[in-house]
């Protein structure tokens, strides 16, 4: 029986050490012996959402249970609530169902939510003796949470622009919400704390940076608040929340940058439970006083080629990666859904010595978390990182969402499956950060290709599956492989406008312009109101030298989708050299409005303004270009020239 929704390790305001030894004789009471344990290990979740701890503690004897943090069903600050559940609490801690802590032996993590054998025995003795309250003067002061925040009052509090109405029949709902962030300069974030106002319906949350503001466009295209799916390659994940998670203040020297113009996108996984709810969580950001001197990099092991037959009780996935540099590992975050049962992450050092990264013998998706090492793990160059996850898709798995079991593949829904292990590392040498980042992108694309190939094997006559694989091949620079898949898609479905447009683009990339134009024009005839197809045709026409026709296609694309930054940019690059400078400037302004982190657009906008003699207007855009493209000599030279122009008498 899971009576505790989650427990943390927030210490009380006036801590009082619990005995490490179980008293062999004498009365065990709540106030003297049990309250210190529960306050320290459980109150981060088992406390009222809206009440001050002092008022909550004064509610002893009440039969009313307040709404608690993370959906916990009662408050441990209230003796009456604890006393009514004393035997169930003893069972929960004796079976180690509570506090919720998934890692097995071998890991040394911060905020480890476990009770000692002596503490468990003490709670059991208290129950056996009648669960007495004891002398009020023995009770420690309840823990203090500033304004309800576990880390104190945040430097910046953000919330959803409007609440999302979760209907009673909406079970297992995934929804993404954009939270605009108004900043005039770069801030450095060392901690994120997530607060839910509807703990009973929120299963987990993920927070990501959206520097290109892709989420805004997807949100506008959806009638309801938020939108369904955010492409993984468009955002940068920075924080994951699940019930019971305790936020951590990172060292100031590893804070991450929050740039002006960047939105946050919050993905919520909600389960209505038969009741409607207005969902509007908030996010607290805690800033560093100084810029970081070290940049954490994520190394990701994963498999997207997951295809678990119905009834299979021991399905396994593996992945490995050899580190190209010396690193210090800071944290590890494993992720899967309901069918996973065991997870192992291992580092094999160059000499053959194995070091455990994480071992979870009994996975439970409800208590997923990021685990921070108490001391960073040094992993030298040549270390092999390995993961192995196993899954149980049989009826014997009590967490299986399908009754009877069904075939389950990789996918974003909780009834699909996933398998990934993120390892947060800091390279010992600054220059190795680029190597690790490039490897991350390369390996992520390899995983996408493997997933698309698996989908195609299961649906060989599906033109859409061929098209999806072709896009991944093209992204990897495998033009001939992409061409083959698109040609097969068109054999299966000759009127597939998207596949035909993509084939035209692939042929164009090979310099086969005449063939490309034929396919691109045919795609536009099949689907004239598709903005991306018209954009692709514009690119092909421009490559063929037909500039006037390309301009018309770009304009048609923008008319269909005014938020297409690529179409605005390409059109500006054509109009500017043709003397239509004012129009080019208008389109470039639209690009930086849609995507404030497009350094190339800022640089070209500065150039266009300077050609009109508007140096003062150009300089801010040139400065932004240098900030966004610090390695660009062109951007630096342009800024210097503009500043020199201003200095002339």
Counts of helices then strands in the chain (DSSP H, E): 18, 20
- Per the model's pLDDT, the better-predicted residue between 97 and 571 turns out to be 571
pLDDT of residue 408 exceeding 90, the answer is yes
The residue among 123, 61, 132 whose CA lies nearest residue 98 is 123
Supply the mean pLDDT for the chain: 88
Output the CA–CA distances (angstroms, integers) from residue 283 to 129, 193, 201, 207, 252, in the order listed.
43, 6, 17, 9, 19
Output the CA–CA distances (angstroms, integers) from residue 437 to 6, 298, 331, 427, 430, in the order listed.
34, 8, 17, 11, 12
The residue among 65, 42, 49, 63 whose CA lies nearest residue 111 is 42
Residue 21 banded pLDDT, cuts 50, 70, 90: very low
pLDDT of residue 405 exceeding 60, the answer is yes
What is the C-alpha radius of gyration for the chain, rounded to an integer number of angstroms? 28
- What is the reported pLDDT for 22? 45
> In this predicted model, what pLDDT tens digit does every residue of 121-172 receive, in sequence order?
999 999 999 999 999 999 999 887 655 688 889 999 999 988 999 988 776 7
Output the CA–CA distances (angstroms, integers) from residue 42 to 37, 67, 89, 450, in the order listed.
8, 15, 11, 43
Q: State percent of the chain over pLDDT 70.
A: 90
- Distance in Å from the first CA to the final CA of the chain: 80
Architecture of the domain delimited by 156-287: Sandwich (2.60)
What does the alpha-carbon distance between residue 211 and residue 161 come to, in Å, rounded to a whole number?
Answer: 18
Residues in the chain: 649
- What is the reported pLDDT for 415? 86
- What is the reported pLDDT for 611? 94
Domain with CATH 2.60.120.230 in the chain: 297-452
> In this predicted model, what pLDDT tens digit does every residue of 577-601 receive, in sequence order?
999 999 999 999 999 998 888 999 9
pLDDT of residue 248 exceeding 90, the answer is no
> In this predicted model, what pLDDT tens digit does every residue of 206-240 receive, in sequence order?
899 998 888 998 898 888 889 987 776 678 888 88
Return the percent helix, strand and coil in the chain, to nearest 5.
40, 20, 40
Rounded average pLDDT over 416-442: 93
Out of 1.25.40.10, 2.60.40.10, 3.30.43.10, 3.40.50.720, the CATH code matching 562-649 is 1.25.40.10
Domain with CATH 1.25.40.10 in the chain: 562-649
Most confident range, picked from 50-59, 182-191, 228-237, 343-352: 343-352
- What is the reported pLDDT for 106? 66
Rounded average pLDDT over 482-498: 98
- What is the reported pLDDT for 146? 57
Instruction: Provide the 3-class DSSP secondary structure of residue 265.
Output: strand
pLDDT of residue 57 exceeding 70, the answer is no
The C-alpha angle with vertex 261 and arms to 260 and 265, in degrees rounded to 5, equals: 110
> In this predicted model, what pLDDT tens digit does every residue of 602-627 receive, in sequence order?
999 999 999 999 999 999 999 999 98
Q: Can you read off the two tokens belonging to residue 283?
A: 């996010």
pLDDT of residue 267 exceeding 70, the answer is yes
User: What order do you get walking across the sheet with 282-287 strand by strand?
Assistant: 156-159, 282-287, 187-195, 256-258
The C-alpha angle with vertex 338 and arms to 332 and 339, in degrees rounded to 5, equals: 95
pLDDT of residue 13 exceeding 50, the answer is no
User: What order do you get walking across the sheet with 371-379 strand by strand?
Assistant: 297-302, 419-427, 327-336, 371-379
Rounded average pLDDT over 51-72: 54
Domain with CATH 2.60.120.310 in the chain: 156-287
- What is the reported pLDDT for 71? 63
CATH 3.40.50.300 correct for 297-452: no
Q: Are 206 and 154 in contact (CB under 8 A)?
A: no
């Amino acid at each position: 029986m899971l009576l505790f929704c989650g427990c943390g390790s927030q210490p009380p305001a006036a801590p009082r050490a619990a005995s490490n030894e179980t008293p062999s004789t004498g009365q065990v009471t709540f106030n003297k012996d049990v309250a210190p344990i529960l306050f320290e290990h459980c109150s981060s979740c088992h406390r009222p959402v809206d009440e001050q701890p002092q008022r909550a503690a004064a509610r002893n004897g009440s039969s009313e249970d307040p709404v608690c943090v993370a959906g916990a069903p009662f408050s441990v600050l209230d003796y009456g609530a604890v006393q009514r559940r004393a035997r169930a609490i003893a069972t929960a801690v004796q079976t180690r169902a509570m506090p919720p802590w998934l890692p097995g032996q071998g890991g040394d993590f911060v905020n480890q939510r476990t009770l000692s054998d002596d503490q468990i025995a003490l709670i059991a003795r208290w129950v056996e003796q009648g669960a007495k309250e004891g002398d009020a003067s023995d009770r420690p002061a309840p823990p203090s949470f500033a304004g309800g925040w576990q880390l104190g009052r945040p430097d910046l509090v953000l919330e959803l622009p409007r609440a999302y109405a979760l209907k009673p029949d909406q079970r297992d709902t995934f929804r993404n919400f954009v939270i605009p962030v108004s900043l005039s300069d770069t801030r450095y974030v060392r901690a994120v704390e997530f607060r839910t106002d509807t703990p009973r319906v929120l299963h987990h949350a993920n927070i990501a940076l959206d520097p290109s503001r892709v989420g805004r466009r997807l949100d506008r295209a959806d009638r309801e608040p938020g939108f369904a799916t955010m492409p993984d390659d468009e955002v940068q994940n920075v924080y994951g929340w699940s019930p019971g998670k305790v936020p951590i203040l990172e060292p100031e020297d590893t804070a991450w940058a929050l740039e002006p113009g960047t939105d946050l996108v919050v993905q919520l996984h909600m389960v209505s439970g038969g009741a409607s709810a207005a969902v509007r969580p908030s996010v607290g950001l805690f800033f560093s006083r100084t810029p970081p001197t070290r940049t954490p990099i994520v190394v990701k092991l994963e498999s997207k080629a997951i295809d678990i037959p119905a009834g299979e009780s021991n399905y396994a996935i593996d992945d490995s990666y050899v580190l190209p540099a010396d690193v210090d590992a800071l944290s590890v975050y494993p992720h899967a859904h309901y069918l996973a049962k065991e997870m192992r992450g291992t580092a094999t050092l160059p000499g053959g010595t194995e070091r455990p990264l994480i071992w979870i013998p009994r996975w439970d998706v409800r208590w997923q978390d990021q685990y921070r090492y108490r001391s960073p793990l040094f992993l030298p160059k040549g270390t092999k990182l390995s993961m192995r996850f196993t899954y149980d898709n049989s009826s014997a798995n009590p967490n299986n969402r399908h009754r009877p079991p069904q075939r389950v593949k990789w996918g974003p829904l909780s009834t699909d499956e996933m398998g990934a292990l993120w390892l947060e590392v800091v390279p010992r040498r600054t220059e190795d950060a680029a190597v690790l980042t490039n490897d991350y992108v390369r390996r992520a694309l390899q995983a996408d290709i493997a997933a698309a190939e698996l989908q195609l094997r299961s649906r060989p006559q599906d033109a859409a599956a061929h098209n999806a694989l072709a896009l991944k091949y093209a992204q990897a620079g495998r033009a001939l492989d992409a061409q083959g898949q698109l040609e097969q898609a068109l054999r299966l479905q000759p009127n597939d406008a998207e596949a035909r447009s993509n084939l035209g683009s692939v042929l164009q990339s090979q310099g086969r312009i005449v063939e490309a134009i034929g396919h691109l024009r045919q795609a536009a005839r099949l689907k004239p109101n598709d903005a991306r197809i018209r954009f692709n045709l514009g690119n092909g026409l421009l490559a063929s030298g037909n500039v006037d026709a390309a301009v018309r296609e770009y304009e048609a694309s923008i008319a269909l989708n005014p938020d297409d930054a690529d179409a605005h940019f390409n059109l500006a690059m054509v109009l500017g050299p043709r003397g239509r400078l004012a129009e080019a400037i208008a389109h470039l302004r639209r690009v930086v409005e849609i995507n404030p982190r497009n350094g190339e657009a800022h640089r070209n906008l500065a150039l266009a303004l300077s050609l009109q003699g508007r140096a003062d207007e150009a300089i801010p855009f040139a400065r932004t270009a240098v900030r966004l493209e610090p390695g660009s000599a062109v951007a630096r030279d342009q800024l210097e020239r503009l500043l020199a122009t201003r200095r002339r008498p």
